[in-house]
Amino acid sequence: MRLLEIKEDGSLSLREYSPEDVLLYAILSHTWGADDQEITFRDVQQHTGHHKDGYQKLTFCSQQAALDGLKHFWIDTCCIDKSNSQELQEAINSMFSWYRDANHCYVFLTDVHKNSSDDDDDDDRPSQVQWEKAFKSSRWFTHGWTLQALSTLFLQSPNTTLIRHVGPPGTL
């Protein structure tokens, strides 16, 4: 398993771990955007891709993992070298256990947006009804891997936490 590791200076690096290594890590459940906007394995290796929309997911996971006291996290778009078909197949076969063994599962919903208020009110949060409607219609619920991510939560220990993040900055 390859994980992103948060260094002391806040930078990120990819590191390989064997199944025998006991690590605390977070995992991200999300839907992919356009191929040219997702952060890839190569982007992380070459420290590029900061301009891509998908970089928000990397930033979010890095910040949230640090807040949760974790130094490692996994995002499929950049922790798997998809140019290596054997590695890709092994990752697909291992994903259930990777989700199951994660200490935190973060959910990033890029299509659930905060409603902007026309009032001068400081409280621009949507109502519960608006939030539920936006949440239920999220593309994430039509994503094939969502069931796997959710089902592993029922198999995890009581100490495992589901952290949710809804969308990029400025969203719900």
pTM surpassing 0.85?
no
From first to last of the 172 residues of the chain, give the pLDDT tens digit: 999 999 999 899 999 998 788 789 999 988 888 889 999 999 999 999 999 999 999 999 999 999 999 999 999 999 999 999 999 999 999 988 898 888 888 888 777 765 533 344 445 565 777 777 777 777 777 766 666 666 665 555 444 455 455 555 444 4
Q: What is the pLDDT of residue 118?
A: 38
Q: What is the pLDDT of residue 21?
A: 87
Q: What is the pLDDT of residue 125?
A: 60
Q: What is the pLDDT of residue 63?
A: 94
Q: What is the pLDDT of residue 111?
A: 74
Q: Under a CB-based contact definition with an 8 Å cutoff, are residues 97 and 135 in contact?
A: no
